[in-house]
Structure 1
Amino acid sequence: MRARRWYAAVAAAVLVAAAGCGFGASPRQGAGGAPAAKGAKPNIVFLLTDDLSWDLVDHMPRVRKMREQGVTFNNFIATDTLCCPSRATILTGKYPHNTQVRTNEPPNGGWQRFNSGGAERDTFATTMEAAGYRTALMGKYLNGYDPAKVQAGSPAYVPPGWTEWYATSFGYKNYDYTLSENGKAVRYGNRPSDYLTDVLAGKAVDFVNRSTTARPFLLKVSTFAPHAPFTPAPRHANLFGNVKAPRGPAFNEADISDKPRWMHEWPKIGPAGVRTIDAKYRGRVRMVQAVDELLGRVQKALADRGLDRNTYIVFGSDNGFHMGQHRLVEGKGTAYDVDVRVPLIVTGPGIPAGRVVGRLAANTDLRPTFEELGGVKTAPSVDGRSLVPFLRGADPEWRNSILIEHAGPIKDPKDPDYPGRGWGNPPSYAAVRTANELYLEYDAGEREYYDLHRDPSSLNNSAATLPAPRRDQLSALLAELRGCAGASCRAADQRS
């Protein structure tokens, strides 16, 4: 009898191992795994960084490894390069003109506008949790959400759709912040162990370690790194001493007479200014080391529990960041590629290794992508499109244009993106980005046009010489996109 039980146990173990093999290779093996068993919904880990530009990926070895193992979207565009509008778009799949979150602060933006307008009740979190997912957000939520500002004895607010919640909007220093931990306001200080990116890493690993195959999860880890004031973890504070900001063609641009009036007041950046840019860039490089380590810790936790075989990992940023391009010392808010074109890299089961997708993708596409992966039908009111076909090796009929919006200039000194002198603070504009063109219309009447095939760094504004038929065509497309919603956005963006 004991012998029969022993053989039965061995046979069962073999069958379990064989079934495990059906999920495919783990990320540690450097290959995309096969899809999970039929009916098993995949897990999703979404690592969202803050102001992370493409030039920082070169300094992140684990993110570079993701590029080898998965799919890189090389033309992923942020539809607004301010934190709060971009993050509201990511959550809802809708352009800023449809979320009504246009700025970081009330009355035209911030968490307050997102909450009061009802957008918070219709996000990928609400739909995924309703479909049976265990959802969690860790880190940055939306500007204005402050768990420290609650009445004594009252719970900190937790938005709908989140099964677990460890969030704040005031962690820019990475120290001295308050997290709402499932409704309880918890204060962190300035000890090395309080460094926010590391705290988020620990909470993310704990979340994974409490997960099972019985219920799928969607985990969004949202760092404040590498947003200013560029505070690295102590262990990274002295690394990369010789690194300098990239000196591309747009760095300290020689002639900006063709640029709009708001840029004309800035002289060329002098040697002291360039040294400051280099020092701050080193701070950004140092900051993302902890983000890269966070990624590695989550990958290891997934692998240790055998969850890696059925988990998609999505790495991205809410917007880019300029450092010296077009004489703008630092910041964001422009429609130039350094601010709007950001990393999006995906690994997971069945994803082709090393694939680069050049099609225009946008932050409106993340919600429908997560929903399709989870077997959730996306509402027709969503403006974006699912990227899942690209993750499966296809090249579907796709959009030809993307709307970029910006409501400015920023006037509130309390805004974390309030610009210093020479940073750049553009007035309101709307732009349309095609595969090879960038066309802008400022509310004040000025225009910009760049042929990105010939001029990828946007050095020569040729709006004045753009043939009238093409100008009128782009202007009409821009007007259509600015007024679109849902299906009409997906119809308009197929034009170019």
Structure 2
Amino acid sequence: MLGPRPPRRWPAAALPAAVLAVVLVLAACVGGGGKDGTGGRTSPGDDQRVKRPNIVYILADDLSWDLLDYMPNVKRLQKRGMTFSNYFVSDTLCCPSRATILTGKYPHNTGVRSNDPPKGGFQVFRDRGNERDTFAVSLQKAGYRTALMGKYLNGYETTKEQGSSRTYVPPGWTEWQVTGLGYANYNYRLNSNGILVHHGRLPKDYLTSVISAKGVDFINRASDAGQPFLLMMSTFTPHAPATPAPEDAHKFPNLKAPRTPGFNEPDISDKPAWLRKYPRLEPQQIRAIDRSFRQRVRSVQSIDRMVGALQAAVDAKGAGDDTYFVFNSDNGYHLGQHRLVEGKLTAYDTDIRVPLIVAGPGVPAGKTERRFAQNTDICPTFEKLAGLEPAESADGRSLVPLLHGRQVPRWRTTAFIEHLGPNYRHDDPDLPKKYGGNPPTYRAVRTANELYVEYENGDREYYDLANDPWELANIHDQAPEARKAELRSLVASYGECAGADCRDL
């Protein structure tokens, strides 16, 4: 017999709650400039003698909140910096999320709605002109040495249509150590500043370790040159197959996936049509989920060591006080919640709410920031930290006032999520497993106490998170009509907004 549903007490409209886990590292340097038409924007009065911080940005792939307990260096970063507890991604798919991170624009404005053409992927990102409007272009024009290591965008790989893409280096990047197919962390070709370098199956070829060493070398060289730097470390881990480094392959032998209240949810009769048909998880599926969780925990050990190594390199150069560390993920991940085996494409908190942690000059130690932030804010934040004025075309806002404890008269109290689906391309690394969750196209709004989802097929979801934080009871039919009308209007406004119109919502 099922337990009682949570009491139906209606929440206040929208209050802040924060999710941020980001690691920024920045060192002193020169600035420069004037406006340009391609994304490089400087503040009036900028001077090349101005000392600017370095930024070290660590962006993991599919890293969910439940992995942080197994990452001691990241937890140390939390203690000396700020954690955003209400940080949400605008799309839970890799390529759309990363396109938003790079540009500060929602997917409906980048035009990157999926991993593959004609709706998304590297080719669409490039063809729509987004590469000229990234934080890398802005910071490089302002005198920063910039580097991207690891993963760029889905589709950045050799195909018949774009056979040379693996040697292509986008604008804005001083150094480029990137591969398109590094999910297994072995047997890949790294584009090393336009030269392809093959890496095989030996322990020394493990991709996360390779780029970690290259990241340390970049910090050393940039520091010795006296040039401010932006280093973006973009891992493929813990994305499936979540291959761990050799030294981590047998750790955590008895670990199991967290058994949250939503794990193998007993009653999903109130869920949308795409999910209602899912059966309860069987024992073999639960065992597979536990194996997957162990692999994910094992794989992030190499990311955690990377965080420690980069921090040590910055400290060794005496740049610790001038460097921001930002730790982040492109989306979350579900494992067993709501009867979903594993995946990331839903509007539930498991998938949309991810870590953002920031430590650096002027950031209070050990603080949790509950005001809302989104991946639209990363680009404007990096530009502001570098002394630039973010572009008016950005949909997001700089988080610098929050990082430095300044008063902000008005701040957003909602987050917007949009998703295009389903996709059944078998060569897509994000193709969901059977019963992994591949919902129809939807748009959603998350407030402090609510999740509201509109599906293209007419289905709706509404959760009272104050009383039902695990999103078990879809009470859309019982919700007040006036409140639903407000949320419908908000979704419509977000779905059409651009630039300042987005920032004012």
2:266 equivalent to 1:251 = no
**Equivalents in 2 of 1:103, 1:63: separation in Å?**
30
- Paired position in structure 2 for 1:66: 77
**Equivalents in 2 of 1:148, 1:85: separation in Å?**
20
- Paired position in structure 2 for 1:330: 342
Structure 1 counterpart of 2:278, from 262, 266, 284: 266
2:492 equivalent to 1:479 = yes
- Paired position in structure 1 for 2:470: 457
- Paired position in structure 2 for 1:303: 315
Q: Is the 8 A contact 1:35 1:350 kept in 2?
A: no
- Paired position in structure 1 for 2:181: 170
Q: Is the 8 A contact 1:148 1:178 kept in 2?
A: no
- Paired position in structure 1 for 2:454: 441
2:432 equivalent to 1:419 = yes
The DSSP-based 3-state class of the residue aligned with 2:85 is strand
The DSSP-based 3-state class of the residue aligned with 2:86 is strand
Structure 2 counterpart of 1:161, from 172, 194, 218: 172
Higher gyration radius (CA): 1
The DSSP-based 3-state class of the residue aligned with 2:109 is helix
Amino acid at match of 2:191: S
Q: 1:445 to 1:238 in 2, by over 3 A?
A: same
Amino acid at match of 1:269: L
Q: Is the 8 A contact 1:36 1:349 kept in 2?
A: no
The DSSP-based 3-state class of the residue aligned with 1:403 is strand
- Paired position in structure 1 for 2:141: 130
The DSSP-based 3-state class of the residue aligned with 2:339 is coil
1:226-241 counterparts in 2 under 5 A? 226-241=238-253
| Cα shift at 1:346 | 0.6
Q: TM-score, normalised by structure 1?
A: 0.90
| Cα shift at 1:185 | 1.5
1:336-378 CA-to-partner distances (Å, cap 9, x unmatched) read 0000000000111121000100111000000010000000111
Q: Is the 8 A contact 2:55 2:324 kept in 1?
A: yes
Q: Is the 8 A contact 1:320 1:339 kept in 2?
A: yes
**Equivalents in 2 of 1:155, 1:453: separation in Å?**
48
| Cα shift at 1:390 | 1.3
Amino acid at match of 1:479: A
Q: Is the 8 A contact 1:48 1:317 kept in 2?
A: yes
| Cα shift at 1:214 | 2.3
The DSSP-based 3-state class of the residue aligned with 1:220 is strand
The DSSP-based 3-state class of the residue aligned with 2:213 is helix
Amino acid at match of 2:92: T
**Equivalents in 1 of 2:350, 2:449: separation in Å?**
15
Q: 1:401 to 1:151 in 2, by over 3 A?
A: closer
Structure 2 counterpart of 1:468, from 481, 488, 494: 481
Amino acid at match of 1:193: K
- Paired position in structure 2 for 1:81: 92
The DSSP-based 3-state class of the residue aligned with 1:52 is coil
| Cα shift at 1:39 | 2.5
**Equivalents in 2 of 1:261, 1:250: separation in Å?**
18
1:73-116 CA-to-partner distances (Å, cap 9, x unmatched) read 01100110000000000000000000000000111000010011
The DSSP-based 3-state class of the residue aligned with 2:96 is helix
Q: Is the 8 A contact 1:87 1:318 kept in 2?
A: yes
Q: Is the 8 A contact 1:52 1:342 kept in 2?
A: yes
Aligned alpha-carbon RMSD (Å): 2.0
Structure 2 counterpart of 1:280, from 292, 301, 305: 292
Q: Is the 8 A contact 1:147 1:185 kept in 2?
A: no
Q: Is the 8 A contact 1:368 1:378 kept in 2?
A: yes
- Paired position in structure 2 for 1:6: none
Structure 2 counterpart of 1:410, from 387, 401, 423: 423
Structure 1 counterpart of 2:413, from 377, 400, 409: 400
Q: 1:105 to 1:192 in 2, by over 3 A?
A: same
| Cα shift at 1:465 | 0.9
Q: TM-score, normalised by structure 2?
A: 0.89
| Cα shift at 1:394 | 2.8
| Cα shift at 1:435 | 1.4
**Equivalents in 2 of 1:197, 1:86: separation in Å?**
21
Structure 1 counterpart of 2:122, from 89, 106, 111: 111
**Equivalents in 2 of 1:106, 1:147: separation in Å?**
14
| Cα shift at 1:247 | 0.6
- Paired position in structure 1 for 2:354: 342
The DSSP-based 3-state class of the residue aligned with 2:344 is coil
**Equivalents in 2 of 1:325, 1:314: separation in Å?**
28
2:45 equivalent to 1:45 = no
| Cα shift at 1:265 | 2.0
Structure 2 counterpart of 1:90, from 94, 101, 108: 101
Q: 1:481 to 1:256 in 2, by over 3 A?
A: same
Mind listing any 5+ residue stretches in structure 2 that lack a counterpart?
1-24, 31-48
- Paired position in structure 2 for 1:366: 378
1:218-262 CA-to-partner distances (Å, cap 9, x unmatched) read 000000010001211110001001111011111100100000011
- Paired position in structure 1 for 2:221: 210
**Equivalents in 1 of 2:198, 2:158: separation in Å?**
10
Q: Is the 8 A contact 1:147 1:156 kept in 2?
A: no
**Equivalents in 2 of 1:357, 1:67: separation in Å?**
11
| Cα shift at 1:184 | 1.0
| Cα shift at 1:280 | 0.7
Q: 1:467 to 1:297 in 2, by over 3 A?
A: same
**Equivalents in 1 of 2:26, 2:162: separation in Å?**
49
**Equivalents in 2 of 1:68, 1:140: separation in Å?**
28
Q: 1:309 to 1:462 in 2, by over 3 A?
A: same
**Equivalents in 1 of 2:28, 2:466: separation in Å?**
38
The total of aligned residue pairs comes to: 461
Q: Is the 8 A contact 2:26 2:323 kept in 1?
A: no
- Paired position in structure 1 for 2:387: 375
Mind listing any 5+ residue stretches in structure 1 that lack a counterpart?
1-31
**Equivalents in 2 of 1:340, 1:187: separation in Å?**
35
